[in-house]
Structure 1
Amino acid sequence: MPLKRSGPAREPNGSAKAPIGVEAAEEARGDAAYRFLRQAILANELPAGFQATEVDIAARLGMSRTPVHEAMARLQEEGFVQILPRRGILVKALTPSDLLEIYEILIGLEGAAAERLASLNESEETSRVLDELGSFTDRMEIALGRGDLDAWADADERFHDTLVSRCGNGRIRRMIETVAGQSQRARRLTLHLRPTPTQSVVEHRKIIEAIRDADPAEAGRAARVHRRGARDQLVPILRRLNLTTL
């Protein structure tokens, strides 16, 4: 007996449910819109105060409004934008006070991530993570030697992303994701206003050494010292230059 063709799947309220392939495509477009807009904000191509409607952004990206709406919601959750009812989005400014709060979170959670990595039993996975952390630190040193601060910043961000994403605690990773982009934004915008960050390479290697030595207390301490140093350098520069908002 041939299978009887059923009607479209329904949501609990009775409305037709989109086919799985359509949902997946919309999700992929939402991710693409999110990445594009986030990178544009980090690069200051969409500066603080920029405002656009959902329709305008969708037209620019050649997408429907649904994936753009999802991207805007994610960006609002991470503190990049504010959704204005019927007016689209506003790229939010970042103040020194905001940065102080963000670095409090980074200091605590990255310290915990380093402690956790140092607490794991030695394995091939731990060795791979250490190799990756060492590789990014080497890239930072090479970039500084050539005076390429943009390449240094890329490698620095990869180091911190790896430290958090590979520590084995998904909640730490998800919590840091909500603020890490904002700290990257501030560091990128002040990249050429700070002294050459030679100390960052030294401090990264101390973190790596403590993890390799399976010393959680020292790994956590080194990670927190490193982030405190970045905070204590960055925030006064913003204040001294009267950059009250970014």
Structure 2
Amino acid sequence: MPPLDVDEARKLYPLVGELEALALRWTAPQDLIGLVDRLEKQIDEMRAVVERGEELAALDDRWHALLLSACANRHLMRLIDQTKPLLKRYDVLYFGGPDRARRSIDEHRRILAAIREGDLTEAARWLVQNWVNGAAYLGQDTRRPSR
């Protein structure tokens, strides 16, 4: 396995964010509303996992997959599915402690709140921000408070 390349990851994280945001915007609002309760339940589960000190990456992946599950553009979804595995090995750098995980969960709540309000532009903005913040965390010392 090649060594971790933080510069590569910092380019891929925002790319995935933009692709996911595009998928979100291309999903029918009524289909997204139909996912709200399940997305909320997964956020609650994510918070419980973080409070127990357990790993969040798999639940985060499931949340994002559910969020995008109603996107009917199979070509876009294939691009996302091909790109996201390139980031898996960076999860250990991204989820570097409970503070970062809690911030990520809060961002997920903001995405969900915007969907509830029918504001897909705001939801997409927070989705991209979630990924951009992830890229910013890469390579930072998890013992120091991040910005």
TM-score range, shorter chain: 0.7 to 0.9
Quote the residue 2:102 is aligned against.
198
Determine which structure has the larger strand proportion and give its number: 1
Q: Which residue of 2 aligns with 1:99?
A: 9
What TM-score do you get using the length of structure 1 for normalisation? 0.51
Task: Give the CA deviation at 1:159.
Answer: 0.8
Cα-Cα RMSD: 2.2
Find the aligned partners of 2:57 and 2:6 in 1 and give their Cα distance: 20
Tell which has more relative contact order, 1 or 2 (C-alpha 8 A, sep 6+). Answer: 2
Q: Larger radius of gyration, structure 1 or 2?
A: 1
- TM-score, structure 2 as length reference: 0.82
Query: In the alignment, is residue 139 of structure 1 matched against residue 45 of structure 2?
Result: yes
From 123, 127, 137, the counterpart of 1:233:
137
Rounded Cα–Cα distance in structure 1 between residues aligned with 2:40 and 2:77: 20
Separation in structure 2 between the aligned mates of residue 201 and residue 180 of structure 1, nearest angstrom: 19
With over 3 angstroms needed to count, the CA separation of the structure-2 counterparts of 1:104 and 1:191, relative to structure 1, is closer
Cα–Cα, structure 1 residues 128 and 216, in superposed 2: closer, same or farther, change >3 Å?
A: closer
Change (3 A) 1:171 1:218: same
Alpha-carbon distance in structure 2 between the residues aligned to 1:156 and 1:177: 15
**Amino acid in the other structure paired with 1:130:** V
Q: Which amino acid aligns with 1:144?
A: V
Deviation of residue 164 (structure 1)? 2.6
- Return 5+ residue gaps in structure 1 as ranges: 1-47, 49-91, 238-246
Deviations 1:134-179 (A, max 9, x none): 222111101011111x2x2221110112223322222221101112
Quick check: which one's helix share is greater? Answer: 2
Q: Assess if the C-alpha contact under 8 Å between 1:207 and 1:223 holds in 2.
A: yes
SS at match of 1:168: coil
Partner of 2:144: none
- The counterpart of 1:126, out of the listed 3, 26, 32, is 32
Q: Shift in Å at residue 210 of structure 1?
A: 1.0
CA distance in 2, matches of 1:130, 1:209: 9
Alpha-carbon distance, 1:121 to partner: 4.2
- Structure 2 gap ranges (5+): 142-147
The one-letter code sitting in structure 1 at the alignment partner of 2:77 is: R
Output one character per residue of 1:212-239: Cα deviation in whole Å (capped at 9) or x when no partner: 22112111111111111111012445xx
Change (3 A) 1:105 1:121: closer
What aligned pairs does 1:1-246 form with structure 2 within 5 A after superposition?
48=1, 92-117=2-27, 120-122=28-30, 125-148=31-54, 150=55, 152-187=56-91, 189-190=92-93, 194-196=96-98, 197-237=101-141
Q: Are 1:114 and 1:163, in contact at CA under 8 Å, matched by a contact in 2?
A: yes
